[in-house]
Amino acid sequence: MSDYREMWEKLGLDLQAHDGLLEVLPPLYGETILSQENRPKGMEYFDFVFSEIHGLRVKELVDHRAQGGLVVGTFCTYVPEELIIAAGGICVGLCAGAQVAEEATEQYLPRNLCALIKSSLGFKLAKVCPYIESCDLLVGETTCDGKKKYYEILGQFQPVHVMELPQRKDDVDRALWRSEVRRLAARLEELAGRKIEPESLREAIKVVNEKRRALLRLAELRKSDPPVISGRDALLINQIAFYDDPKRLAEKVNALCDELEERREKGIAIGGAHRPRLLLSGCPMAIPNWKLPAIIETYGALVAMDEMCTGIRYFRHLVDEEPADLEGMLDAIADRYLRIDCAVFTPNRERIEHIKELVGDYSIDAVVYYALQFCDPYTVEAFLIRQELEKEGIPFLYLESDYSTEDVGQLTTRVQALVEMLTSG
């Protein structure tokens, strides 16, 4: 990485702590991602983006702000990226996947809270995340209890706008959510000092839909058996999609898909022979949380699809591009986002149906359910999903984890047992 120290210093990072973080990431990346054999050439772009994770992209954000643009940070797939872009902003996903400054974090948050929330505050307190420090506004949402109370604390450090997300999908909820989308639009307009014009919103809808189409194309290719891409590489791309420039990302994902189609025609597969195909379902896996996919793929199986926010839940639905006026576009955006089937909703029948659909479409041999410890929505919803899948004879493995490495041995044993069961049957 070229020398960005001056930029990091201006952003208020703790350079020493930040150096420590940057020392840990490359070896972990090397071990988990670069060590895979026969990766497609198109992954080089994503390797480069990762190698510049705190460099080039952050510089783009800094330059954008210097030209009067906004940078807005989000923590959840319910926050409409289109509005941020239409207001002349850049949207960056801020979910974090590593334990940082635990002791300091526990001065603010209880120990028995999910790792994702604790990690987010940890990065803030330790002053090691150039993304959060580049933001003009953070947009939260009332999803789980932990997050919504956390945003009140985060608001002591930086401006936070919280969207009220209903937890059912009836007409009254839709009306509330549509008004919340408008309230966010108004807040962004105020901050940007400019109106969101129909043309810019139409263009933003197209840009974000193009990103989703590219990711959907990649998802389609993951149906190939033998596989043309590993689960780890697909996860990495999805993680990068949260913070990279959306147009550039779509271009690079499409170029990778061209290559993968060619490789498929030539019979070039990743990992050779057929391996058990697993669906990972549950909580998101933010960078650098590759623990479970790495175990699965090291011990003889493939992550064929991810039913999570760092997977297909992020790009599955497009925004309707038909509406011509601003009001119609805002409604189309609200409706698209309300279709997301996070476990915070009740009832959440769509998620169960979607998982069953994925099992068929991706020739899945077993579902591995991934819940972060202390995450009530996902740990509780697991029961209904297990019940439904077992009725259909689909093997189901429930795993709880956090961001530590302490449970690697235990996770490995359980994954190995599953793979053995699937290969011996």
- Please give the residue ranges that form the binding site for ligand BJ8 (CB under 6 A): 76-78, 114, 116-117, 143-144, 146-147, 283-284, 309, 340, 342, 344, 372, 375, 377-378
**Comparison of 292 and 419: residue with beta carbon closer to ligand BJ8:** 292
The distance of closest approach from Cβ of residue 313 to ligand BJ8 in the complex, given in angstroms and rounded to an integer, is 6
**Comparison of 365 and 381: residue with beta carbon closer to ligand BJ8:** 381
**Comparison of 116 and 355: residue with beta carbon closer to ligand BJ8:** 116
Measured distance CA(301)–CA(423) in Å, rounded? 10
The distance of closest approach from Cβ of residue 268 to ligand BJ8 in the complex, given in angstroms and rounded to an integer, is 34
The distance of closest approach from Cβ of residue 174 to ligand BJ8 in the complex, given in angstroms and rounded to an integer, is 17
Q: What phi and psi, each to the nearest 5 degrees, are found at residue 214? A: -65, -45
Q: Which amino acid is at 70?
A: L
Three-class SS of residue 173?
helix
Q: What is the dihedral of CA 214, 257, 240, 415, to 10 degrees?
A: 110
Measured distance CA(422)–CA(299) in Å, rounded? 12
The distance of closest approach from Cβ of residue 419 to ligand BJ8 in the complex, given in angstroms and rounded to an integer, is 26
* Number of continuous H segments (helices) and E segments (strands) in the chain: 18, 8
**Comparison of 165 and 256: residue with beta carbon closer to ligand BJ8:** 165
Burial of 407 (C-beta count, 10 Å sphere; 0-12/13-18/19+)? middle
**Comparison of 109 and 196: residue with beta carbon closer to ligand BJ8:** 109
The distance of closest approach from Cβ of residue 377 to ligand BJ8 in the complex, given in angstroms and rounded to an integer, is 5
Other CB atoms within a 10 A radius of the CB of residue 274 amount to: 14
**Comparison of 4 and 75: residue with beta carbon closer to ligand BJ8:** 75
Q: Are 308 and 285 in contact (CB under 8 A)?
A: yes
398 DSSP β-pair partners: 369
Q: Are 60 and 69 in contact (CB under 8 A)?
A: no
Measured distance CA(364)–CA(288) in Å, rounded? 25
**Comparison of 142 and 209: residue with beta carbon closer to ligand BJ8:** 142
The distance of closest approach from Cβ of residue 193 to ligand BJ8 in the complex, given in angstroms and rounded to an integer, is 29
Buried-exposed string 71-106: b where 16+ CB fall within 10 A, e elsewhere: bbbbbbbbbbbbbbbbbbbbbbbbbbbbebbbeebe
The distance of closest approach from Cβ of residue 371 to ligand BJ8 in the complex, given in angstroms and rounded to an integer, is 8
The distance of closest approach from Cβ of residue 332 to ligand BJ8 in the complex, given in angstroms and rounded to an integer, is 19
The distance of closest approach from Cβ of residue 147 to ligand BJ8 in the complex, given in angstroms and rounded to an integer, is 5
**Comparison of 208 and 375: residue with beta carbon closer to ligand BJ8:** 375
**Comparison of 55 and 284: residue with beta carbon closer to ligand BJ8:** 284
User: DSSP assignment of 233-285, as one string?
Assistant: HHHHHHHHHTTS-HHHHHHHHHHHHHHHHHHHHHT--SSSS---EEEEEES--
